[in-house]
Amino acid sequence: MPTTARPHPLLIQGGMGVAVSGWELARAVAGRGQLGVVSGTALDAVLARRLQLGDPGGHMRRALAAFPVPEAAAYVLDRYLVEGGVAPEERMRAMARLRVERGTDAQLLTVIGNFVEVWLAKEGHDGLVGVNYLAKIELATAPALFGAILAGVDHVLVGAGIPGQIPALASRLARAEPVTTLITVEGDEEPLPHTFDPRGGLMAQLPDGYDPLRRPEVLAIVSLPVLASYLVRDPATRPDGFVIETHRAGGHSAPPRGKLALDGAGEPVYGPRDHPDLAKVAALGIPFWLAGGAAHPERLAEARAAGAAGVQLGSAFALCQESGLRDDLRTELRARARAGTLRVRNDPRASPTAFPFKVAELPGTLSDETVRAARRPVCDLGYLRTPARAANGSLVYRCAAEPIAAYVRKGGDAVDTTGRMCLCNGLLATVGLGQRRPGGAVEPPVVTLGQDLGFLDHLSPDGRPYSAAQVIDWMTGADASAQTP
């Protein structure tokens, strides 16, 4: 089914964390005429754990009832749904992991998890909904994207790497055709081909000509025009648009160009070479949006004057009432920001991906060295694992945030583990889906935000909660003074 051309949104609500930009936030934004985006990271775990918590509100079951292969949806329900929810001290059930050599169950849960999140975000309106992926998580991209396409996703946004494979993947998956992705394997000179069949396993029962299957528009998240220019050269890699994201944005960001230098606080130093030349971006003739410190009507006006279609906002939406952040964390973050005591550090070591990662310093979270030291290292989710070759030539999966002995045994250098955080477990805990450990302990959260929080002076000057609608109205000038009573 061809995609009907629609006006470009002024605002893109960015994909954030694991379920911080969940279906409720994306639906609220899309319902107001802007692009609402769900985070596509770890949606298999999000679905499985929501079901194990009893599926409050019945939202997961409502979306699963719409899945086009009822047998597959029933399989997931039978495996993970716990009526009334697991006991407070009970551990969440483990899930299969995606692998190059096998992983049918993991692929199925990835497909369905993405379908559920996008379907719920699109429910009840005709606005635009997108999904955000990390190019770094290569094994998940094809099954995740297929699940989103099954639900009718309008846009796919991809950052944290080079998203050159995505445009062609989107076209083939929209036809439910098998696709081959190239998986980077540390120690190999060439990437490893990996095939995903949308009709494999239980998905073989997907009806022919299932409707709607349409190709979403692809927005590549890049930091500089040089990568944008590279992607537009070949029709196979050419996206439909760009998000030009600076290092002030939350989550992962590109490292500085050239040799890494750190300031006195241990943060990467960015220079003139790291500031995008917007004239070069505009000359490419493709729509683009600016991100990173863009949460102000003046920034939107400046972006439009520079040729951009609009801006992407993250933190302003992360702290609104519809975001997936735990209420206690959201409240404390707003209070500390208002008091001037909140620091967001661009940590070059926190993420196992080796990309700098913004960490909000908050007691009781992984930003606290005491909390981090007390956590028993464990890698039981593995989304940021990297395929690598062991000394004997076998394929292994390792992550610099896993237990050091395991990492070294798989051929990793112990130096790489210094300062790393388990973002997989930490980000799930941030939205109330943390794993329970022996003795009643729950995984501590980790919070990421952008480094520009001045929007709170306008949206929440007295510390009160605010809504996604208020963010949109303030940015577009519809109602700059409305406050939640």
If residue 417 lies in a helix (H) or strand (E), which one and from where to where?
none
Task: List % helix, strand, coil for the chain (3-state, nearest 5).
Answer: 35, 15, 50
What is the number of residues in the chain?
485
- Please tell me the pTM assigned to this model: 0.93
Decide: 205 and 211 in contact? Cβ < 8 Å: no
Query: Per the omega criterion (within 30 degrees of 0), is the bond before 212 cis?
Result: yes
| Alpha-carbon distances, residue 357 vs 144, 161, 319, 419 (angstroms) | 23, 14, 18, 12
Rounded Cα–Cα distance for residues 156 and 148 (Å): 9
**How big is the CA angle at 368 (ends 364 and 372), to the nearest 5 degrees?**
95
CA distance 377 to 363: 19
Q: Which residues contact residue 323 at a Cβ distance below 8 angstroms, ignoring those fewer than 6 apart?
A: 16, 20, 21, 22, 25, 317, 330
Closest by alpha carbon to 155, among 255, 267, 239? 239
Q: Say how far apart CA 120 and CA 24 lie, in whole Å.
A: 8
pLDDT tens digits in sequence order for the chain, 485 residues long: 444 567 899 999 999 989 999 999 999 999 999 999 999 999 999 999 999 999 999 999 999 999 999 999 999 999 999 999 999 889 999 999 998 887 789 999 999 999 999 999 999 999 999 999 988 888 999 999 999 999 999 999 998 778 888 999 999 999 999 999 999 999 888 999 999 999 988 998 888 876 568 999 999 999 888 888 889 899 988 999 999 988 888 888 888 888 888 888 888 898 888 888 899 999 999 999 999 989 999 999 999 999 999 999 999 999 999 999 999 999 999 999 988 899 999 999 999 988 899 999 999 999 999 999 999 889 999 999 999 998 888 899 999 999 999 999 999 999 999 999 999 999 999 999 999 988 778 999 999 999 999 999 999 988 889 999 999 999 999 854 444 33
Cβ distance 451 to 346 under 8 Å? yes
Token readout for 208 is 């022919």
* C-alpha–C-alpha distance, residues 94 and 282, integer Å: 47
d(CA 333, CA 17): 16
Helix, strand, or coil here: 148?
helix
Give the integer Cα–Cα distance in Å for 149 and 214. 7
